[in-house]
Structure 1
Amino acid sequence: MIKKALLGGLLALAPSLVAAQATLTAETTSPGSTPHYVDTTLAAVLASAGVANLQITEGATLTNSVEAVADGRLDMAPAPLILPFLLSRGIGPYSGVGPEKGAEAAGNIRALFFQVASAQMFGHYNSNPIENIRDLKGKRIWNGPPRGAALTSGRAMIQLLSGLKEGEGYEGVQSPWPDTVSSITGGAVDGWTIPEGLPSGREIAIAAAGGITIYDVPSDLLASKLGQQIVAAPGHAPYSVPIDDFRAAYAGNDITVVTDDDSFDTFALAFAQIVTASMDEELAYKITKAYLEGEDRFLTGSPRGPFLGLSFGDLDGKSQGVCGAVQMKMHPGAIRAYEDAGHSVADCLRP
Structure 2
Amino acid sequence: MFKASIMAAVIAALPAVTVAQANLTAETTSPGSTPHYIDTTLAAVLESAGVASLQITEGATLTNSVQAVAEGQLDMAPAPLILPFLMSRGIGPYSGVGEEKGAELAGNLRALFFTAASAQIFGHYDSGAITDITQLDGLRIWNGPPRGAALTSGRAAVQLLSGLTEGEGYEGIQSPWPDTVSSITGGGADGWTIPEGLPSGRQIAISAAGAITIYDMPSDLLNSELGQQIMNAPGHAVYSVPVDEYRAAYEGNDITIVTDDDTFDSFATAFAQIVPASMDDELAYQVTKAFLEGQERFETGSPRGPYLFLSFGDIDGTSQGVCGAVKMLMHPGAIRAYEDAGHTVADCVRP
- Fold similarity call, TM over 0.5: yes
User: By how many angstroms is 1:321 displaced?
Assistant: 1.2
User: By how many angstroms is 1:302 displaced?
Assistant: 0.2
- Post-superposition CA distance 1:277-306 (Å, at most 9, x none): 000000000000000000000000000000
Describe the SS at the equivalent of 1:112. strand
CA distance in 1, matches of 2:243, 2:151: 26
User: By how many angstroms is 1:207 displaced?
Assistant: 0.1
Task: Tell me which residue corresponds to 2:164.
Answer: 164
Task: Tell me, yes or no, if structure 1 residue 63 matches structure 2 residue 63.
Answer: yes
User: By how many angstroms is 1:188 displaced?
Assistant: 1.4
Runs of 4+ in 1 over 2 A off after TM superposition: none
User: By how many angstroms is 1:132 displaced?
Assistant: 1.0
- The residue identity in structure 2 corresponding to 1:30 is S
Describe the SS at the equivalent of 1:328. coil
Task: Tell me which residue corresponds to 2:92.
Answer: 92
**Contact 1:20–1:53 at 8 Å: present in 2 too?**
no
Describe the SS at the equivalent of 2:247. helix
Describe the SS at the equivalent of 2:83. helix
- Segments of structure 1 that go 5 or more residues without pairing to the other structure are 1-18
- The residue identity in structure 2 corresponding to 1:225 is E
Task: Tell me which residue corresponds to 1:224.
Answer: 224
CA distance in 1, matches of 2:232, 2:179: 30
CA distance in 1, matches of 2:262, 2:175: 33
User: By how many angstroms is 1:20 displaced?
Assistant: 5.4
Matches within 5 A, 1:129-148: 129-148=129-148
Q: TM-score, normalised by structure 2?
A: 0.94
- Post-superposition CA distance 1:160-181 (Å, at most 9, x none): 0000000010000000000000
Describe the SS at the equivalent of 2:37. helix
Task: Tell me which residue corresponds to 2:258.
Answer: 258
**Contact 1:20–1:47 at 8 Å: present in 2 too?**
no
CA distance in 1, matches of 2:318, 2:33: 24
**Contact 1:133–1:162 at 8 Å: present in 2 too?**
yes
Task: Tell me which residue corresponds to 2:295.
Answer: 295
Task: Tell me which residue corresponds to 2:123.
Answer: 123
- Post-superposition CA distance 1:190-241 (Å, at most 9, x none): 0000000000000000000000001001100000000000000000001000
CA distance in 2, matches of 1:278, 1:218: 44
Describe the SS at the equivalent of 1:320. coil
Task: Tell me which residue corresponds to 1:209.
Answer: 209
Describe the SS at the equivalent of 1:317. coil
**Alignment root-mean-square deviation, CA:** 0.7
- Segments of structure 2 that go 5 or more residues without pairing to the other structure are 1-18
Matches within 5 A, 1:235-246: 235-246=235-246
Task: Tell me which residue corresponds to 2:249.
Answer: 249
Task: Tell me which residue corresponds to 1:185.
Answer: 185
Describe the SS at the equivalent of 1:227. helix
Describe the SS at the equivalent of 2:187. coil
Task: Tell me which residue corresponds to 2:34.
Answer: 34
- The residue identity in structure 2 corresponding to 1:244 is D
Task: Tell me, yes or no, if structure 1 residue 52 matches structure 2 residue 52.
Answer: yes
User: By how many angstroms is 1:273 displaced?
Assistant: 0.1
CA distance in 2, matches of 1:50, 1:227: 45
User: By how many angstroms is 1:130 displaced?
Assistant: 1.1
CA distance in 2, matches of 1:21, 1:247: 42
CA distance in 2, matches of 1:188, 1:337: 47
Count the aligned residue pairs.
333
Q: TM-score, normalised by structure 1?
A: 0.94
CA distance in 1, matches of 2:165, 2:112: 36
CA distance in 2, matches of 1:131, 1:274: 41
- The residue identity in structure 2 corresponding to 1:45 is V
Task: Tell me which residue corresponds to 2:108.
Answer: 108
Task: Tell me, yes or no, if structure 1 residue 334 matches structure 2 residue 334.
Answer: yes
